[in-house]
Amino acid sequence: MYFQHIYDKSLAQGSYFIGCQKAGIAAVIDPKRDVDTYLQIAREQNMTITHILETHIHADFLSGSRELALLTGANMYLSDEGGPDWQYEFKHIGLKDGDSIQLGNLVFTVLHTPGHTPESISFLLTDKPASDEPVMLFTGDFVFVGDIGRPDLLEKAAGLKGTQEIGAHQMFLSLKKFSALPPYVQVWPAHGAGSACGKALGAVPSTTTGYEMVRNWAFRFQEDEAGFIQYLLADQPEPPAYFAMMKKLNKTSRPLLTEVPALNALSIDEVNAARKKGYPLIDTRPKASFAKGYIPGSINIQHNNLFNTWAGWLLDYNTPFMLVAEPDQLDDLTRQLMRIGLDHIYGYLPDVADWEKAGGQLEQEPVISLEEFKDLHQHNGIQVVDLRGATEYQAGHIQGADHVFVGHLLRNLDKINRDKPVVIHCQGGDRAAIGYSLLAQQGFRNVLNFSAGMNQWIKDQNEVVQ
C-alpha cells in the first residue's frame, strides 16, 4: 500500500492519496480543488487515479472531486445517505452504510456517521495482503484529533433552523460506532488545528481510536447524552460567511477549473475603471506595510494561512475583485482563492508605488502603542471595540470594551461611534488590520488601531474582565 497525507495549511484541511502498488491504481479522499498535487503524486508513483471518495458535502472548502474526475476519468464515490435533501446532484456512484469499495488489494468499508452533517460517511480501510483487520479510518469531519465535528454549521451558516440539536443527537449515536472499533486503528481526519469545523482540534495530523477513547472529551459523555449535547454546542467559533456557498457549490453543478489561472497585471487606469464598477481592491501585504501607506478604499487581508478564510468572509461570489500582491505570491494566493471558489479575480497590482507615480496619494493607518492606548483609555472617553470572536471576548476583555466581531463589522457599523475617538483591537493585530481598512473604506476617520491587542495587554499584566 502507498499512502500520502496532503495538508493545506490555509484551511487546515487534509486529503489523502492511497494506492495499491501491485495493481498500480489509487484513490484520493476529499481532494482540494487545485488537483495538480494529486496528479503529480500519481506520476511519481507510476499509478493511475481510478477512485475519488468524499466523506460528506463540505462547507469549508470547494471539493476538487469533479476537476480530478474530469482530468483522470476516475469514478466518484459519494454518500447517498442523509435523505433526499442531502443528495449530490451530479453523476456519481452512491454509497450506503456497509458498502465496500475494492481498490486492488485494498478495501474501503463505508460507515454512515451522521452528526456533523446528515450524509456524513467514514471509510474504514483494510490492507488485505497485510491483515484482515482494519488499519485506517478516514473520518472526514466526524472525529478529529481531540475533538469531533460541530453539528451547528447547517443552522448557523446555511440557515437550516432546528438542525443543530438533531445533528448533536446523531453525533452521539455515531460515536458508538467509533467506540466499537479496535483501539489500534489509525484515525485520519479531514481537518486539524485552525479549522472552524470544531472548537478544539489537535495540531498533530492523526491519532488512533484507542487514544481518542481516552483523551477526546466527547467520550467522557457516553452515558450522558444531554450533557454531551450541551457541551458540544457551547462556545463554537463563528462559521465563516462563505460556508453556505460551499454547501451549495459542492452539491450542485458548477464551473470546473482544472488548472491554476494566470492573473493579469493591471495598470492604474484599469484599477480605477474597475473600482468605479464596484470591484473591491484587496491589499495582501503585511499589516505593517499596509499601515505605512495604502490605496484609499482598499481592504487589508494579509497573505498568510488565513487569507482565503477572511476573503470568504468579505468578498461577494458574483463580483470580480483585484489584488495588491507581489508577482511571486500570486500562485499561492490564487490557489487559496480557488479552494473556496473565489474565481473572479480581475487582476493584480504589483506595487502601491504605481498609485503614487500616477498622481494618487496613499493614506496611512494610525497605529498606537500600548502606552498611548492606556492614556486614551484612562482619560479621553474613547470607545474601545474588541473585534475578536464572541468566545474570546467572553473569556476576558478590556474593561468597557464593546464587542463587534470583525466578520460581522459591515453589518454593525451603527455600533461604531463616529463622534469620538474609537480604538479597535483584536488578539495580535491581524483582524484589527482588516477591521481598520473596512472602517476607513466606510468613511470613518476617527479610528485608531491598537495593533498589539490583547497579547500585549495581558503581557503587560493589565486587568481583563469577563
Number of Cβ within 10 Å of residue 8's Cβ equals 21
pLDDT at 70: 98
Hey, what amino acid is at 145?
A: V
Mean pLDDT, residues 130-153 taken together? 96
pTM value is: 0.95
**What is d(CA 235, CA 226) in angstroms, rounded to the nearest whole number?**
16
| Tens-place pLDDT, residues 275-302 | 999 999 999 999 999 999 999 999 999 9
Return the residue matching grid coordinates 481516552: 214
**What is d(CA 446, CA 427) in angstroms, rounded to the nearest whole number?**
21
122 three-class SS = strand
Residue 105 has pLDDT above 80, yes or no: yes
**What is d(CA 396, CA 322) in angstroms, rounded to the nearest whole number?**
37
Q: For residue 363, which of 272, 267, 444 has the smallest C-alpha distance? A: 444
C-alpha cell at 151: 453539528
Residue 95 has pLDDT above 80, yes or no: yes
Hey, what amino acid is at 128?
A: K
To the nearest 10 degrees (0 to 180), the angle between helices 163-179 and 225-233 is 120
C-alpha cell at 355: 498609485
pLDDT at 197: 87
Q: Above pLDDT 70, what percent of the chain?
A: 100
313 three-class SS = helix
Mean pLDDT, residues 186-194 taken together? 96
Confidence of residue 241 (pLDDT cuts 50, 70, 90): very high
Number of Cβ within 10 Å of residue 348's Cβ equals 23
**CB-based burial, 169-186: b 16+ in 10 Å, e otherwise:** bbbbebbeebeebeeebb
Number of Cβ within 10 Å of residue 75's Cβ equals 16
Confidence of residue 155 (pLDDT cuts 50, 70, 90): confident
C-alpha cell at 227: 450533557
C-alpha cell at 123: 471509510
**What is d(CA 4, CA 18) in angstroms, rounded to the nearest whole number?**
7
Domains by residue range for the chain, with CATH: 2-251 (3.60.15.10), 268-357 (3.40.250.10), 370-459 (3.40.250.10)
**What is d(CA 395, CA 464) in angstroms, rounded to the nearest whole number?**
9
pLDDT at 199: 86
